[in-house]
Amino acid sequence: MITRFAPSPTGHLHIGGARTALFNWLLARGQGGQFVLRVEDTDSLRSKEEHTQAILEALTWLGLDWDGEPVIQSQRVDLHRQYIDQLLKNGQAYWCHCRPEDIEEKRQQALQTGGKPRYDGHCRELGLGPAPGAVIRFKSPPPRSVGWKDLIKGSIVVDSDELDDLVLLKSDGFPTYNLAVVVDDLTMGVTHIIRGDDHVNNTPRQILLYQAFGATPPQFAHAPMILGSDKTRLSKRHGATSVMAYRELGYLPRALNNYLARLGWSHGDQEIFSLEEMAKLFSLKHVGRAASVFNPEKLNWLNAHYLKQTPLEELGALTLPYLTAKNITPPSSEVLAKIMATVRERGKTLVELAEKAEFYFLDPPPLDPIAAQKLLTPEGKATLTELAEELTKAFPGDHQAFDQIIQALATRKMVKMGVVAQPLRLALTGKTASPGLYDIVEILGPEKTIQRIKAALAYDGQPQD
């Protein structure tokens, strides 16, 4: 078994393309086959090398490794021409000198009279040769049924009379998409093609070309498209659509892979899969025929799950770039792992974890002005002053000792523990919601803890730097 992913480098790798790559990768890896990569860059006006590199980077980030070197389609034009010449020699292709504007005019006339907007075959039997602006067309065989058993959609049959004489070689000397794809898949030995169902209309044309070359077509599987929440095709208006945008937003590749696989494929009621497990279980029989709706909340849920499952030191290393982006100089990996232990239950993405952890690195953290007005009253500052004195005398060595300090002060003042704890939380974090207070105190240590309390005591309601 050989599957392939064949992106065009005209932009970044889209979520839909990533799912196509994933399905091909899973099928090949699960069956002990090969997964090859082909860059279809024959659109010279739109294809760019930086897009090629971005696609390779995205696939690498997702962990979708390919076998061998990437095949560059534009380097195979001579091979494509050889196959076109073979069709010319066999009388299965011909030169067409019709001007594009004349063809378009005839198509419009056909539409107006209820006919089919197809090429009328004017040059089909004229025996023409090369000429400036000329193209080479495929001589479609007499009308007959062209069908295949789609591995997702089931049996599909098309009347070949619906297909006009396909252009094989454009006037600029480059092969067309359908010709290049067939020659490449044929010569690369591709046995299974999984692609989006927007390619269904290309398949009968490609089958006819395989037959013209005397070859057996590969097996086709056309996956339904991915829709946005409004049931229209997924686009930028629905949010991020490129794979690398999700990396920038702080998603883990294993979460994105898991989500994309489940976006159309299922294995019972199971929701959580590793990449290796998916490869063992994946089957095209369980890919649905209906379009799937992209649900960001489901992706967030999966990503939060994987964040919680990630070892703390690894999680710290993954979060590090997002902290660095905030101009934060990170501590040792050991301290960063302790910080991650306090915040990883509080965020759905690495970006959110970096935001939740940011207060640890701000000395002092800016205080929420509304909370400060409420908590840093004379009474609140008096409580903080006493707390600072207690912590200076005996900094707590464990959680129990810390609780005893808070409880004793609350008892003396005849107030609830929250009346003591909340001003301290504000002083240490700048906010009224945070990880556990003792965890924060332990990570900050005596010096920073006392400094932050003193900074809060000096707060006068004026904007902080």
Distance CA 70, CA 435 (A): 47
Catalytic residue, candidates 116, 149, 170, 236:
236
Q: Is 189 left (phi over 0), alpha (psi -120 to 50) or beta?
A: left
Give the residue from 201, 200, 216, 127 showing the smallest Cα distance to 166: 201
CB-based contacts of 371: which residues, under 8 Å, 6+ apart?
426, 431, 432
Positive or negative CA dihedral for 350, 355, 356, 360? positive
Indicate if 280 belongs to the active site: no
Determine what percent of the chain falls in helix, strand and coil, rounding each to the nearest 5. Answer: 50, 10, 35
Tokens for 39?
A: 């860059």
Q: Which residues pair with 54 in a beta bridge?
A: none
Token pair in block for residue 23: 């399905």
The residues annotated with a catalytic role in the active site are 236
